[in-house]
Chain A
Amino acid sequence: MEILVCVKRVPDSAENEISVAPNGADIKRDDLVYSVNEWDNYAVEEAIQIVERDGGKVTVISVGDSDAEEIVRREMAMGAEQGLLATDATFEGSDGLGIATILAAAAKKGSYDLILTGALADDGAAQVGGMIAALLDLPYASVVNKIETKDGKSLRIGREIEGGAQEINDIELPCVLSIQTGINEPRYVGIRGIRKVASVEIPVLDAAALGVTAGKVGADSANVKRVDYFVPVAGAGAEMLSGSNDELADKLVALLKAKGGIK
């Protein structure tokens, strides 16, 4: 099976305190730790496992600059055979549809049986996979937490729906799936793995190579634009306790006792 996995470089929100830059135009990015979007990492692992089982090839693609190349390389170190980078000045400022347009154009350059994205990324939109499917007229399923390959014509998939239930579907190939975390256990990438792919060439696809015109991508054609970031006005917010760990524990124990939290 030929599999294309779309990955995004994001600030790791588990590792960072995200705060808003003074003018609200962006978040403060100076000291952020970036990584591959967590959902995308599960998607790459799933693709590699399918290929290890059934044969084929995994290609990883990201839209971005040389920083994005770093995460493509990291995912190649996991076992993806091919990396691609979609880079062009006209891509900057694209909205979700712009990114999906670039990725769909890249997908058309190959002949992929399966296209995977993460179910969500840092903006929580959960949009790019479904848009790629629509642009390519392929069937789609989101929040996939199980993939069984069958006869090469279709897949049996599980979707994680509300309440932790799993919705089982058959879906025809080729198709697009967005992958939920927890579908597998992504392998660890060590220094040796990174070194092995350090000099592998990652082809760069620009707008001309992809046949994408400026009217379809980039800031000017974006229908959905962020005006600014802000810190939400919290409700009353928590009553913050202060003191040493010892004092904090004393205060908390008293509160928990009063509220019936200690039996």
Chain B
Amino acid sequence: MNAKLFVFVSHRNGKADDSAFELASAAKTMLPGSAATAIVCGSGVDAVATEAAQLFAEVWKFDQSALAYPNAELIRPLLLEVVPAGSVLLLAHDTFGFDLGPGLSVKLGAAYVPDVVGFDGLDGTALKVVRQEFAGQVSAHVNANVANGAVVTVRSGAFKPSEVSPGGQVIDKSDEAAGLTAKRTFIEVIEAEAGDIDITREDVLVSVGRGIGDKENIGLVEELTDAMGAAMSCSRPIVDAKWLDKGRQVGTSGKTVKPKVYLALGISGSFQHLGGLKGNPFLVAVNKNPKAPIFQVATVGIIADLLEFLPVLTEKVQKAK
């Protein structure tokens, strides 16, 4: 395949995002032997471009004050101008990728291949990838016809970060990004409010998910948490239901935690949740669904009904102290 390969490099505070390192190795896995060109957009991005040149042979730098914040509505028309037809472009499957990717694929006339967790090679114009569906309960082999190029988004954590080695070349293409306008204007970022406890500092977390069923059952989790002398955290559905504050949410759209012990109660284990759990804790999963993906990553698993199991466990913990 002769298509040109691009990786869009996200960055924050003058540093390339972790996703850039993962995308560099995803590109090598997808098309072994190919050299990807990195695209760095922003304002005052020399440091990021230099960093990207340790991951990619070629870096295209688009430095413009209008690009100070990554607004996909500005970046999409820019990429349409500069990316040749038939190219394959890799992005992170994150909230910026959600903004940029689908529309970019439509405008490029290219296939959209979202949330890829693995590559199985290229067969003619068929790019063979692995995805997951139904919140990670099953996987799927997917073939994408990339005859007219593709926009591929890659799941965070699916590929090991690439090693760095200096030697890439930065090409300044800032002039090509002049005069961009969009019908969407970035105003500001409001950081998440600190909650009543800081779960990122806790060694032992008892984390509750949708499997708890009802708000009144949270009390059972609270009793266990108190008995263990731990702190309570949760997965996203608990926050959506307003049963606990946002400050207690573990996951890519919540907090990143590094406990030594993590007890996941009624949490299915979506990649968004696991994305917020770092440091390889002793992970105990209790779930009534034996197929819950959490059991694939947990250290110890228990299939049980929480409402019956938790009171028994709490009593035993109290006696064990």
Q: Residues of A with Cβ closer than 8 Å to B?
A: 11, 13-14, 16-20, 27, 96-97, 100, 119, 122-131, 133-135, 139-143, 156, 158-172, 175, 178, 181-182, 185, 223-232, 234-235, 237-241, 245-246, 248-250, 252-253, 255-257, 259-263
Contact A223:B313 (CB < 8 A) given known A134-B106, A229-B138, A238-B300:
no
A54 to chain B, nearest CB (A): 20
Instruction: Give the residues in chain A near B317, CB-CB below 8 Å.
Output: 253, 256, 262
Q: Are A13 and B187 in contact (CB under 8 A)?
A: no
Q: Are B98 and A241 in contact (CB under 8 A)?
A: no
Binds A, one of B21-29, B39-47, B248-256: B248-256
Q: Are A235 and B296 in contact (CB under 8 A)?
A: yes
Cα–Cα, bound, A140→B104 (Å): 12
Chain B, residues 81-114, CB within 8 Å of chain A (1/0): the string is 0000000000001111011011111110001111
Total residues of chain B contacting the partner, CB 8 A: 97
Instruction: Other than A18-B138, A239-B300, give 15 A-B pairs with Cβ distance below 8 A.
Output: A13-B268, A17-B291, A122-B135, A133-B103, A166-B192, A181-B240, A224-B143, A224-B145, A230-B138, A238-B301, A248-B304, A253-B313, A262-B317, A262-B321, A263-B204
Cα–Cα, bound, A122→B140 (Å): 13
Q: Taking CB as reference atom, which chain A residue is nearest B192?
A: A164
Q: Are B254 and A124 in contact (CB under 8 A)?
A: no
Q: Are A234 and B296 in contact (CB under 8 A)?
A: yes
Among the listed A133, A229, A261, which residue makes an inter-chain contact with B140, where contact means beta carbons less than 8 Å apart?
A229
Q: Are A256 and B261 in contact (CB under 8 A)?
A: yes
Cα–Cα, bound, A223→B105 (Å): 11
Q: Residues of B with Cβ closer than 8 Å to A?
A: 71-73, 93-96, 98-99, 101-107, 111-115, 128, 131-135, 137-145, 148, 182-192, 203-204, 210, 227-230, 236-237, 239-240, 242, 246, 249, 252-256, 260-261, 263, 268, 282-285, 289-291, 295-304, 308-309, 312-313, 315-317, 320-321
Q: Are B312 and A246 in contact (CB under 8 A)?
A: yes
Contact A256:B228 (CB < 8 A) given known A27-B134, A129-B102:
yes
Contact A142:B309 (CB < 8 A) given known A19-B291, A185-B242, A261-B204:
no
